Structure 1
């Protein structure tokens, strides 16, 4: 989904000679192999693993359903997601803000999480492989944040900032807003005893920060800041419900009643009532589902790819510089092209 057609090797290890003469397999062939690998894994994986973080049958089914969805194979996607929904193996956490806290790791909503530790003797500077901590937490922190010992947050680098446009998209009463878009100025005013100070990041400040992965004190070891243990939530049950809603809405025999049921489970958690249920159908329901994905999964790495796969990227991001026929894919690094002979993606 990032680079389109990519090299595909399934029958041997990649040798040095191979790396200097790579060719790109069609994306359809790559997806076909991913489907085969996941289908094979599903037949042998258990539904529960003793060691947290090991892949389960449910996780593989969720990934396969997502692969189907990205190819517009809606019937197959809808059927695959039912394998997670029908057994009631997962449930939505009642308190949305707790999902991304350290105590919320591997909870009832976790379909698959990448595990991290703060026990490494080294640290993960610039995404090297030496450390065991989650560098993304450090990136999401507020620059030069300081305060009293009672203030729970640690400082960071002010990357991956929510926009005011996102914050404004949440309706009144939506509990996800404050649990996603952290307003530092409002926090300072509400907590004068914390004596909070911070540095505004140049060129990128929106006044908001990614609460989901905001670094908390006590998460990291003594080896500087880069050993944050907070897991990366790769697939949550809420994501599965919304993907299932989309697949049922777009299926050959559309089932909008089921799609409404799934999206409304997510919305009832968000608002804490039944007053915000979605009752529309057809394309209006489809748009509502995509918007719900934006609100529920904000700052989790889904939005851009959702816009691309649904053909809405140009109309949504055009004013921000998105160019159709180019920006759907990422550029291949020039250093990789020079070594391998790969052809650059269009427009770069």
Structure 2
């Protein structure tokens, strides 16, 4: 008998996931039950709903195969030198604890959630792309745009999969239970080649901009180019990366600009700002309660990282004490104008305001500020813990500036790299610094701290074994995650990653 885990994954890969419909803006989602692909796609409205469903795994805030809490930021920050796992104890959200101290096993770690969520996204994109040409009443313009969105999304899910696992099946069509267990792993080169194919195709069908009020969070041409430039960077295709990212950074049609005030980037009151290239939308208006488990499209990570048992109400709401900031990051940021927008010293705050909190496991006194549960963002409906409206800007302009600078320094235009590095620093009032690779690396850490990029950066630069040695990182093993245990059992073709 097939394991429950594989059956679940198989069903997700077959496209029998929850369908969602629009509420308010394009990606404020609310589950509406289930559908079978065979009796869907009957008209243009259903095609649009299927597009929305293909976006949905991007903002999956709970679940995974084992129904435990899932958040990419939680696991990735725990794995980096930006944060510890934290929480109530060394067993609280064990998936984050074991990636924090590099004791992952095929049976235990965040890989179940990463694998299931991204393959669910792959499948929904596959089903979408198969069925769009057959939808009655779909205009040529709608077909072009929806197809481009499906191609972008499939590329996005596969980029996460190949970075996290390296050795994954390359599935480009919907599956059924007769073949879902017989999918071999592709080479990483084949996966990257398909990602490039999808993104190049997507670029031609996407709009330059979208109206934020009604389509905020929907993919644009600039987002596809930014992701392709990032893919090239990971492949060390320096000239291609530099050219693609330069187009993103300079094309007036996209309207991207660095915000004058660094802290404004992260405010829920400033969504889809001029620095945002690809933003994952979270709603604070859907009145979620604990009975909505596995449906949350709010930002639960905001609640997770707040101080435990905080006795405000002065500025902060309480939280669960996860991802305390390391003293290494706090010290690196001290004296930098970005410090106060990135890190909050709760020890100092509680002393100054005569409040208190309960130190979490691995407490340092420093907490993440960028996504913090700030009282000004608190909503009044539903359960407070479950309705934070903070978006996550996955790709923003300062990121693409620094990625282009890195690509330019690896055989391109060093003067252009200097201009880009200077722009990022000047925005926060810092003087010029020579554009060397290490200075660009250092700037990425300070500019993008706690935004989920650090672990990937350390791995691709080859610095993870040294920088993360204090956490137990093992060279030649921990650069990728283990394949979830049950994906390698019961006659599947999937082989475990080396070292696990």
Fold equivalence (TM over 0.5): yes
Are 1:67 and 2:206 an aligned pair?
A: no
Residue-by-residue CA offset, 1:1-44 (whole Å, 9 max, x unaligned): 0000111111x202223332231101111111111111111001
TM-score in terms of structure 2 length: 0.63
Q: In structure 1, what is the equivalent of residue 272 of structure 2?
A: 106
- Residue 234 of structure 1 aligns to a residue in which SS? strand
Are 1:79 and 2:275 an aligned pair?
A: no
Q: In structure 2, what is the equivalent of residue 336 of structure 1?
A: 487
> Offset at 1:171?
5.5
Q: In structure 2, what is the equivalent of residue 308 of structure 1?
A: 459
- Residue 306 of structure 1 aligns to a residue in which SS? helix
Aligned residues: 330
Aligned-partner Cα distance in 2 for 1:68–1:221? 44
> Offset at 1:333?
1.6
Q: In structure 1, what is the equivalent of residue 188 of structure 2?
A: 27
Mean Cα deviation higher: 132-141 or 30-39 = 132-141
After superposition, residues 223-262 of structure 1 pair within 5 angstroms as: 223-224=382-383, 225-251=385-411, 254-262=412-420
CA shift in 2, pair 1:290/1:123, >3 Å: farther
Residue-by-residue CA offset, 1:98-149 (whole Å, 9 max, x unaligned): 21121222111111111111222435899x641221121111211122213x
Q: In structure 1, what is the equivalent of residue 476 of structure 2?
A: 325
Aligned pair partner of 2:308 in 143, 164, 170: 143
Mean Cα deviation higher: 83-92 or 293-302 = 83-92
> Offset at 1:76?
0.3
CA shift in 2, pair 1:216/1:124, >3 Å: farther
CA shift in 2, pair 1:313/1:124, >3 Å: farther
> Offset at 1:312?
1.3
After superposition, residues 112-123 of structure 1 pair within 5 angstroms as: 112-123=278-289
Aligned-partner Cα distance in 2 for 1:286–1:200? 38
Q: Contact conserved, 1:133 with 1:228, CA < 8 A, in 2?
A: yes
Aligned pair partner of 2:447 in 296, 299, 302: 296
Q: Contact conserved, 1:140 with 1:214, CA < 8 A, in 2?
A: yes
CA shift in 2, pair 1:123/1:269, >3 Å: farther
Q: Contact conserved, 1:123 with 1:130, CA < 8 A, in 2?
A: no
Aligned-partner Cα distance in 2 for 1:219–1:245? 38
Aligned-partner Cα distance in 1 for 2:290–2:442? 35
Residue-by-residue CA offset, 1:75-95 (whole Å, 9 max, x unaligned): 000000111222242111122
Mean Cα deviation higher: 214-223 or 300-309 = 214-223
Aligned-partner Cα distance in 2 for 1:241–1:123? 40
CA shift in 2, pair 1:58/1:130, >3 Å: same
TM-align CA RMSD: 1.8
CA shift in 2, pair 1:180/1:124, >3 Å: farther
Mean Cα deviation higher: 73-82 or 330-339 = 330-339
Aligned-partner Cα distance in 2 for 1:219–1:18? 47
TM-score in terms of structure 1 length: 0.90
Q: In structure 2, what is the equivalent of residue 2 of structure 1?
A: 164
Aligned-partner Cα distance in 2 for 1:92–1:111? 11
> Offset at 1:257?
0.7
Q: Contact conserved, 2:229 with 2:244, CA < 8 A, in 1?
A: yes
Q: Contact conserved, 1:145 with 1:156, CA < 8 A, in 2?
A: yes
Residue-by-residue CA offset, 1:280-337 (whole Å, 9 max, x unaligned): 5xxxx00110111111111011111101111111122223211111000011121222
Q: Contact conserved, 1:109 with 1:236, CA < 8 A, in 2?
A: yes
Q: In structure 2, what is the equivalent of residue 46 of structure 1?
A: 207
Aligned-partner Cα distance in 1 for 2:289–2:217? 20
Q: Contact conserved, 2:350 with 2:357, CA < 8 A, in 1?
A: no
Mean Cα deviation higher: 151-160 or 63-72 = 151-160
The gaps in structure 1 that reach 5 residues or longer are none
More helix by share: 2
Q: In structure 2, what is the equivalent of residue 219 of structure 1?
A: 378
Q: In structure 1, what is the equivalent of residue 434 of structure 2?
A: 279
CA shift in 2, pair 1:170/1:152, >3 Å: closer
Aligned-partner Cα distance in 2 for 1:328–1:241? 25
